[in-house]
A and B are shown apart, each in its own frame.
Chain A
Amino acid sequence: MVTGSAVAEAAPSDGGWDDATLVARAREGDLRAFEALVVRYQRRIYQLAWRMTSSSSDAEDVTQEVFLMLWRRLPELREDAAVVGWLYKTATNRCLNVLRSRKPTSEVDEATTPSHDASDDPERSAESNEQMEALAAALDRLPPQQRAVWLLREVHGRSYDEIADLVDTTPQSVRGRLARARVQLAEMMQPWR
Chain B
Amino acid sequence: MAVTRRTDGHLLPCGRSVEDVLDNLDAGRDDHTCEHCATARRSLENLMEATAALVADPSEPPPNLLDRIMQAVRVEARRGDVLALEGADHGPADVSEVAVAAVLRFAADSVDGVWARSCHITVEPESAGTIAVAMTLSLRYGSGPADGLLGEVRGRLAAALAGQVGLHAHRVDLEIVDVWPEES
Contacts and interface: CB of A to CB of B under 8 A. Distances in A.
A64 B57 CA distance: 21
Interface residues of A, number: 71
A47 B66 contact: no
B158 interface: no
B59 A116 contact: yes
Contacts of B69: 38, 42, 63-64, 67-68
Contacts of A72: 76, 82
B83 A75 contact: yes
A131 B61 contact: no
B76 A116 contact: no
A27 B136 CA distance: 13
B106 interface: yes
B132 interface: no
Contact of B49 (A15, A46, A56, A131): A131
Interface string A60-74: 100110011001101
Given A18-B138, A42-B65, A60-B62, A10 B12 contact: no
B43 A187 contact: yes
A111 interface: no
B147 interface: no
B68 to A, nearest CB: 6
A2 B164 contact: yes
A179 B13 contact: no
B173 interface: no
Contact of A64 (B9, B10, B59, B72): B72
A82 interface: no
A115 B105 contact: no
A189 B103 contact: no
A108 interface: no
- Looking at chain B's contact residues, the main secondary structure is helix
A47 B57 contact: yes
A105 interface: no
Contact of B61 (A20, A35, A46, A179): A46
Contact of A134 (B19, B50, B100, B164): B50
Contact of A186 (B47, B68, B98): B47
A142 interface: no
A102 interface: no
Nearest to A128: B53
A3 B99 contact: yes
Central interface residue in A7, A9, A20, A129, by most chain B CB within 10 Å: A7
Nearest to B64: A60
Contact of A29 (B46, B51, B98): B98
Nearest to A72: B82
Q: 4 smallest A-B Cβ distances: which pairs?
A: A10-B106, A114-B59, A4-B95, A128-B53
30 contacts: A1-B97, A2-B165, A3-B96, A3-B99, A4-B95, A7-B103, A10-B102, A11-B106, A21-B115, A21-B178, A24-B118, A25-B105, A29-B83, A29-B94, A29-B98, A30-B98, A31-B77, A35-B70, A47-B59, A64-B69, A68-B76, A75-B84, A128-B49, A131-B53, A132-B50, A155-B55, A182-B22, A183-B22, A186-B47, A193-B13
Given A7-B99, A42-B61, A67-B73, 19 more contacts: A2-B100, A2-B165, A7-B102, A18-B138, A18-B184, A28-B120, A31-B74, A31-B77, A47-B57, A71-B73, A75-B84, A113-B59, A115-B62, A117-B60, A154-B51, A155-B55, A183-B19, A186-B44, A186-B47
